[in-house]
Amino acid sequence: MSETESDIETLRRFDDAMFSARGVETGYGDLQVLYGVDIDIQDDEIVLVFGPNGAGKSTLMRALFKQLPLWNGTIEIGGEDCSNLESNQMVTHGVAYVPQTSNVFPNLTVAENLDIGGIHADDVGRRHEMFELFPRLAERQSQAAATLSGGERQMLAMARALMPDPDVLLIDEPSAGLAPQLIEQTFEHVDQIRQAGTAVLMVEQNVTAALDVTDRAYVLDMGENRFEADADTIRNAQRVRDLYLGQ
Amino acid sequence: MGLDTFLQAVVSGLIEGSVIAVGAVGLTLSYGVTRFINFAYGEFLTYGAYLTVFLAGGLFGVSLPLPAAAVVATVVVGALGVAVSRTFFEPISDRGALPLLITSIGVSFILRNLLQGWVGVDARQLPIPLLRRQDYFGLFRLTHLELGVIAASVVTMLTIHLLLQRTMLGKRMRATSGNRSLAKTAGIDTTSVIRQTWFLSAAAGALAGVLYAVLFSPFRPGVGFEYLIVIFAATLLGGIGRPYGAMLGAFCIGLAMNFGSTYLSANYTRAYAFLILVGVLLLKPEGIRGGEF
């Protein structure tokens, strides 16, 4: 076993991380899904979470955003303990979340979706920044979100979440259901979001493409941390390739 | 029966449609954000009508002019709606629509019997004079009060329209209606939005009750519950959860009831609304699944 590969088993912990979750346990009813997951997100970092189906990736996102109650564990944002917040308080603590599905208000227009995104924002110029990042949305402002294409809807979902200029954006499967050329564009957007100063934590099945923009990755399996390393190390680790990338 | 009768039926239909519209919009607003049909809604109409009678009739030691009494009653019943929701509906809000619906039937019994125990079953009426209908353009006849009912309804519809489209509260309500989980994700305090919606819903119900009482005095404590079927018909016809649909549905039901009474038989006025309700459920059952606003 090479040194690189043994490293990925050791979960690094970043004590100065802007967002850090420790020992997260949660589930649905009696069914426990997460058994003590650690996640750190540093400033301006793109972090990828991947793993097999049923690993608990989406559940992790929901738990980190407090959509699910923490059975155990803590969430700290900027050094402040946020374990007991309600999900509607996360935005004011600098965290935004884009769910995988149902991630726009279908009955509201594009502009109104952004109004809702901006209820906790004071920057009126923010909307123009969103239209620069997603020019398509500017053309569709008065259109109901229900009538958007899949790609446009994903852009609107991201723009809505970005309106309050969050420190960290949690995105669940941004490329799910998109055409191949749009998948690449989605990851470009993720990269631009980071360049504009928002760290990103994303869950993605499209691992190879996602790793191209990612700084660091966690592999989740059976509700636990399995591997953690920089994107390059993960990409080249034989065991990750054998187990999760199918190559 | 000529053009004159026809026009009078249209006008009567529009008048009653005005009342139904206010009631249907209130019912559909609460459905839009809570996703259950509130069977206690009829009691808001009843309480609105009775409170107005008491406030205007000096039961509480003051005799307010009718419009002022109506406004106070509307606000008080709005607050009652919030209290009812917090007491009965919020604690079980995550159990799904059916427990909520059944609870609302129980709440309607409680509210109706409380009122009946207090005021008895005697018929009451608003202190309004008997007015003669005035002739308009030689085409149809209306009393001033009927004109007032139409005006109050139009103002209510416009206010609700502006609230939903132009105000942040309206957008929050529509967002909560469209996707409650995402509304929370976006930082909306959905619990508070739902309470505000209950206020509006109950207040609209109370106003509908007052307007009904203006047109169809005298009334008894069962008045709201009995009229609920008419409001349901309008709400479902327009697609429950859709305020603009409810407004349109209300005028259709109002016209149908009055055409039925004029040309078929006046003994079955409510039955015409009920027939439409059955028709909607048979032909367009997705109406009951509802939409968002």
Pull the structure tokens for residue B186: 């976006």
**Mind giving me the DSSP string for B208-260?**
HHHHHHHHS--B-TTHHHHHHHHHHHHHHHT-TT-HHHHHHHHHHHHHHHHHI
Give the type of residue at B185: T
The chain B residue lying nearest A100, using CA atoms, is: B182
Number of domains in chain B: 1
Q: Report the C-alpha gap between B209 and B129 in whole angstroms.
A: 18
Our measurement of the distance from residue B237's CA atom to the centroid of its chain's CA atoms, rounded to an integer in Å, reads 15
On whether the CB atoms of residues A114 and A186 are closer than 8 A, the answer is: no
Q: What's the pTM? A: 0.90
The chain A residue lying nearest B181, using CA atoms, is: A67
**pLDDT (tens digit, 9 = 90+) per residue, A207-246?**
999 999 999 999 999 999 999 999 999 988 888 888 887 6
Query: Which residues of chain B make contact with A160, given a CB cutoff of 8 A?
Result: 186
CA dihedral A31, A33, A34, A39 (to 10 degrees): -140
On whether the CB atoms of residues A203 and A130 are closer than 8 A, the answer is: no
**Mind giving me the DSSP string for chain A?**
--HHHHHTTS----TT-SEEEEEEEEEETTEEEEEEEEEEE-TT-EEEEE-STTSSHHHHHHHHTTSS--SEEEEEETTEE-TT--GGGSGGGTEEEE-SSS-S-TTSBHHHHHHHHGGG---TTHHHHHHHH-HHHHHTTTSBGGGS-HHHHHHHHHHHHHTT--SEEEEE-TTTT--HHHHHHHHHHHHHHHHTT-EEEEE-S-HHHHHTT-SEEEEEETTEEEEEEEHHHHHH-HHHIIIII--
Beta bridge partner(s), residue A171: A98, A202
Distance in Å, alpha carbon of A2 to nearest chain B alpha carbon: 43
What's the pLDDT score for residue B142?
85
On whether the CB atoms of residues B49 and B219 are closer than 8 A, the answer is: yes
Q: Which residues of chain B have pLDDT under 70?
A: 1, 287-290
Beta carbons within 8 Å of B279's beta carbon, 6+ residues apart: none
Interface of chain B toward chain A, CB-CB under 8 angstroms: 168, 171-172, 174-175, 177-179, 181-190, 291-293
On whether the CB atoms of residues A86 and A197 are closer than 8 A, the answer is: no
On whether the CB atoms of residues A207 and A51 are closer than 8 A, the answer is: no
**8 Å CB contact of B187 and A120:** yes
Domains within chain A, CATH numbers bracketed: 3-94+166-245 (3.40.50.300)
**β-strand A19-28 against A72-77: which pairing, if any?**
antiparallel
**pLDDT (tens digit, 9 = 90+) per residue, A16-55?**
899 999 999 999 999 999 999 999 999 999 999 999 988 9
Q: Does A3 score more than 60 pLDDT? A: no
CATH value at residue B33: 1.10.3470
Residue range(s) defining the domain that contains residue B47: 3-289
**8 Å CB contact of A87 and B190:** no
**pLDDT (tens digit, 9 = 90+) per residue, B55-77?**
998 777 788 999 999 999 999 99
User: A154 CB near a chain B CB, below 8 Å?
Assistant: no
ipTM of this complex prediction, to 2 decimal places: 0.91
Cβ-based neighbour number of residue A128 at 10 Å:
11
What's the longest Cα–Cα distance across chain A?
58
Q: Report the residue of A88, A115, A147 to disrupt the B interface, i.e. the one with the largest count of B CBs within 10 Å.
A: A88
Query: Which residue of B175, B179, B185 is in closest CB contact with A65?
Result: B185
The chain B residue lying nearest A103, using CA atoms, is: B182
